[in-house]
Structure 1
C-alpha cells in the first residue's frame, strides 16, 4: 500500500505540473523574447549558466515535462552545437536515471515479471539483450522518453547498462537538434519560426533508423556466437 500511494502521488505531481502551464515557458516564444538577456547571462557566467541548464534539463527529463525539444534547441543556441549537445545529454541522462532508480526503488527491479508468464518472457528478452534494445529505443524515439525510462526499471536492467545506453543512444538526435539550435540566431533575425519537420528531414530520420538497425544486428550476432561457443 505504501508503494501504491507513492506511485499515485507521483502521477498526481506529474499531472499537476503538466496542467500548470510550466511547460509553456519552455518554448520558442520564450527563447525569442529573452534571447538577448539569456545570451548575455551565458557570456558573463559560463559555468553557472551551464550548471543551471543541466539542472533544469534534469528536472524536465525526470518529470517528463513538455518542452524538452525547445530546451535542446535553446542549448545549442546558447552554448553552441558541441557544448549544447554535451550539456543536454548530461541533463537528460541524469533525469532519466533519477526516474529509473526511483521506479526500481518503489516497484522493485522485477515488477514486470510479477505480472505473469508473458510479461516475464518480455522482461527476460530485454534483460538478455538490454544493450541492443535500449540503444534502439533511444536512437529512434518510437515511444515516449518517459516510458523508456520506466520499462527497464521494471525488467531488472542494471543501472550501468541503462545509463550508458541512454547517454550513447540520445547523442545523435540531440546533436541534430543542438546543431539546429546553433543556427537559431539567423532564424530569429529573419523573424521566422523553426519547425520540427525542417529539423527531422528524411535524411536525418533514415540515418537514425540505420543506427538503430546496426544496434539490432547485435542480437542475432550475439546468439550466433553464444551457440558456436
Structure 2
C-alpha cells in the first residue's frame, strides 16, 4: 500500500468519524430541538428579535453551517424550515440554494476521490439504471434527477460518483435543480412565520392565505410533473 492510498484511507475514516461525532453530538445535546417547528413557534419572539438585531451575523452563521451540514450528509428539511421562518422567502431561498449547492459540491468532490468504491458497492446496484441511461448530456439528466421525489438529498449528492460527472455540470445541475423546490418550501415556512409574527390564529383557514396556498399548490404541481418525468424517462430502479 503506497503513501497516497494510506492518506486516502485516513481521510476517509476521519470523515466518517466526524460525521458520527456530529450526529451523536447533535442529538445528545438536543440541537435538533432548535430546528424543530415546535421550538420555533414557542420561541418566535426571541428569534425574530435576534434576527432583526443581528441579521448579517445570523445569515452568515446559517450559510456556513448549512455548507458544513450538507457536506456531512445532513438532511435539508430542518434548515429549510429555519430559513423560511427566520429569513423570509427571498433571503432564505438565496442562502439555502447557494449553501446547499456548495456543500453538495464539496461532498461530491470528497466522495468521488475517497469513497468511489463504497458508493459503487452500495448504490451501484440499486441505481443501476442511472449508470445505464446517462449519456453525454449528463447536465440535463442530473438536473431532472434532482427534481424527482423519493431520493434522499444526501444520496442525490453521491449518485454522480457512479458516472464520474463533471464538476461544473454537477454544480450547475444542483444549483438550478434544487432552486425550485427550495424556493417553494422556504415560501411555505415563510408564510407560516408571517402568520406567527402577526399572531394570527392557527387554523385550517391559514392554509388558504395566498402566501401559503400558492407555494403549496406549486409544490403539488411540481411533484406531479416530477412523477411524470420519472415514469416517462427513468427506469423503476431509480
Mapping 1:141-180, distance limit 5 Å: 141-180=149-188
2:137 maps to 1:129? yes
Out of 34, 46, 53, which is 2:55 matched to? 46
Mapping 1:63-212, distance limit 5 Å: 63-66=72-75, 68-107=76-115, 112=120, 123=131, 125-126=133-134, 128-185=136-193, 186-187=195-196, 189=199, 192=202, 204-210=219-225
Alignment partners' CA distance in 1, 2:108 and 2:137: 18
| Contact 1:135–1:168 (CA under 8 A) maintained in structure 2 | yes
Cα distance change, pair 61–141 in 1 and its aligned pair in 2 (3 A):
farther
Q: How far did residue 25 of structure 1 move? A: 3.1
Out of 9, 12, 20, which is 1:7 matched to? 12
Give the aligned partner of residue 19 of structure 1: 24
Q: CA-to-partner distance for each residue in 1:38-61, whole Å, 9 max, x for gaps? A: 222222232222222111211221
Alignment partners' CA distance in 1, 2:177 and 2:35: 23
Alignment partners' CA distance in 2, 1:59 and 1:191: 36
Q: CA-to-partner distance for each residue in 1:20-50, whole Å, 9 max, x for gaps? A: 3043432113322332222222222322222
Give the RMSD, CA atoms, in angstroms. 3.8
State the number of aligned residues: 213
Structure 1 length-normalised TM:
0.74
Alignment partners' CA distance in 2, 1:140 and 1:98: 22
**Structure 2 residues without counterparts, runs of 5 or longer:** 205-211
**Structure 1 residues without counterparts, runs of 5 or longer:** 220-229
Cα distance change, pair 176–192 in 1 and its aligned pair in 2 (3 A):
same
Alignment partners' CA distance in 2, 1:23 and 1:155: 34
Structure 2 length-normalised TM:
0.71
| Contact 2:142–2:173 (CA under 8 A) maintained in structure 1 | yes
Runs of 4+ with >4 A deviation: 119-122, 190-194, 198-203, 211-219
Alignment partners' CA distance in 2, 1:96 and 1:69: 15
